[in-house]
């Protein structure tokens, strides 16, 4: 009868489904997903409901700002809508997490443009797959843009994107600068501390 024995993970189907869904998240393996599932199981019902409602609200309400393409729950994000920001100074980043990292440094008073990726030919990602056309259209449509700070990550893909942007922006007559090498090579903005980002922004150079 041993050949007819069917193994399982010993969990009820609802727990198995939760572990499976949690393990889909980046950086979450099956063991971590199991720990999270058991933690949620032992939490009060109202806390679990609050978490579920927060997830649904995020999915239903959060979209992209129509101007900078950062995360927003309105057609225009609070940064783009702030009249006190320097709207003629645009910082270009790869993703929303990079935008938040620079904001935490509290030294940049301009606005942003989020590319949602970087040029990576080996992965099949070209200039048309990220928000580069939207950036050039934004620059052309603005009354005046003083400077574009290219704050893509210090990776091969980030550097390739920076060079492409510099060439694309040059005919438009706008100054393009790159973050200074205060950032570690191969590092991501998302994991940089405030002091490093402050140094990188203040020491930026023209391309």
pLDDT band at 192 (very low <50, low <70, confident <90, very high): confident
Integer Cα distance of 10 and 61 in angstroms: 37
Single pTM value for the model: 0.77
Q: What is residue 176's predicted lDDT score, i.e. its pLDDT?
A: 93
Residues in Cβ contact with 19 at an 8 Å cutoff, skipping those fewer than 6 apart = 9, 11, 30, 33, 34, 37
Average of per-residue pLDDT across 180-189: 73
What is the CATH topology of the domain spanning 85-206?
A: Dna Topoisomerase Vi A Subunit; Chain: A, domain 2 (3.40.1360)
What residue segments make up the domains of the chain, in order of their start?
12-58, 85-206
pLDDT at 122 over 60: yes
- Res. 1: pLDDT tops 50: no
Angle at the Cα of 82 from the Cα atoms of 77 and 86, rounded to 5 degrees: 115
Q: What is the pLDDT of residue 193?
A: 79
What is the mean predicted confidence (pLDDT) over 140-145?
Answer: 81
The predicted pLDDT at position 194 comes to 82
CA distances, 9 to each of 12, 16, 23, 172 (Å): 9, 8, 15, 60
For the domain made up of 12-58, give the CATH fold.
Answer: Helicase, Ruva Protein; domain 3 (1.10.8)
pLDDT in tens, 12-21: 899 999 999 9
Residue pLDDT, tens place only, 30-41: 999 999 999 999
CB distance 79 to 100 below 8 Å: no
């Amino acid at each position: 009868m041993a050949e007819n024995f069917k193994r399982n993970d010993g969990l009820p189907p609802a727990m198995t489904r939760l572990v499976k869904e949690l393990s889909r998240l980046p950086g979450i393996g099956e063991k971590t997903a199991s720990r999270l599932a058991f933690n949620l199981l032992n939490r009060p019902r109202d806390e679990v409901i609050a978490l579920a409602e927060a997830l649904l609200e995020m999915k239903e309400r959060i979209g992209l700002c129509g101007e900078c393409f950062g995360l927003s729950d309105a057609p225009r994000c609070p940064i783009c809508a702030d009249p006190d920001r320097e709207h003629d100074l645009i910082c270009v980043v790869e993703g929303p997490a990079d935008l938040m990292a620079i904001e935490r440094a509290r030294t940049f008073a301009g606005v942003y443009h989020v590319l949602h990726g970087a040029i990576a030919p080996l992965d099949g990602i070209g200039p048309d797959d990220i928000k580069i056309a939207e950036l050039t259209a934004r620059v052309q449509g603005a009354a005046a843009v003083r400077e574009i700070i290219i704050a893509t990550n210090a990776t091969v893909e980030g550097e390739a994107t920076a060079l492409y942007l510099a060439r694309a922006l040059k005919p438009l007559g706008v100054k393009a600068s790159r973050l200074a090498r205060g950032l570690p090579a191969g590092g991501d903005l998302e994991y940089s501390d405030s002091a490093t980002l402050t140094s990188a922004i203040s020491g930026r150079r023209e391309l």
